Amino acid sequence: MQKLTITIDGPAGSGKSSVARRIAEVLGYVYLDSGAMYRALALKALERQVPMDDEARLVALARDTHIELRPPTSEQAATGVKNRVFLDGREVTEAIRTPEVAQAASRLATIAGVRAVLVAEQQRAGAGGGIVMEGRDIGTVVFPQAELKIFLDATPEVRAERRWKEHREKGEAMTVEEVLDEVHERDKRDRERKVSPLVRAADAVLVDNTGMNVEETARLVVMLAREREKEVARAAGKE
């Protein structure tokens, strides 16, 4: 069966990473978390104290940075890690999962030149198909020709609660209200930016998983993927 390119876009806390990882596991596809690339670059910029509005330096930094995503070890997978992230050869899997890095990533993601560098990397990584890539612009910009596009969403309150639970599991003290504010601020910036804003592609399937868990959501997308795999195989046979 020919393997597809599956894109999953949606706002923070919509369950993209957990769902995408699970789908990739069931289908035997590669999973790629594009947000981790923006986060890794943001971490480097914060460490070097590059201001988030210094576009020229941030674009130069992006060009001079090597970000690699790898599957987690079984120990890491058991603790919820979905992609290992290496920044210029140094593992930053945990270091990029802070609210500070998330906000910085959302800010540098507004810069067209930064996006161009990371989008090119993402297109290279997914060129062979058989990939589930998640982010904000994967179905609209990175892989507009993808065979299956999903737009995941849930109410802001449920999305904030999911993020809050993640922080709590890591022992970080944040109130649900603080997380809700962080999610609101980031969503607003991600949706309103001029370049590649978070928007549902016209041909994306909208999945509102407010009342669904990861397994239920993944099962639904896997069903859609199996249908598409058959359609693609049938169309190829007719050529």
What type of residue is 144? Answer: P
Interaction between residue 136 and ligand DC (CB under 6 A): yes
**Piece of the chain touching ligand DC by CB under 6 A; list 18-26, 34-42, 52-60, 63-71:** 34-42
**Measured distance between the N- and C-terminal CA atoms of the chain, rounded to whole angstroms:** 16
Exactly one of 21, 22, 39, 163 binds ligand DC (CB under 6 A); that residue is: 39
Residue ranges in 52-91 that form contacts with ligand DC under rule CB under 6 A? none
With CB under 6 A, what is the number of residues at the site for ligand DC? 15
In our burial notation (b when 16+ CB lie closer than 10 A, e otherwise), range 8-28 reads bbbbbbbbbbbbbbbbbbebe
Query: Min. distance of Cβ 237 from ligand DC in angstroms?
Result: 34
Sign of the four-CA dihedral 48, 60, 31, 157: positive
Interaction between residue 10 and ligand DC (CB under 6 A): no
Residue ranges in 146-205 that form contacts with ligand DC under rule CB under 6 A? 186, 190
Interaction between residue 135 and ligand DC (CB under 6 A): yes
Residue 153, phi-psi category: left (phi > 0), alpha (psi -120 to 50), beta (remainder): beta
Using CB under 6 A, list all residues that contact ligand DC: 12, 34-35, 38-39, 102, 105-106, 109, 135-138, 186, 190
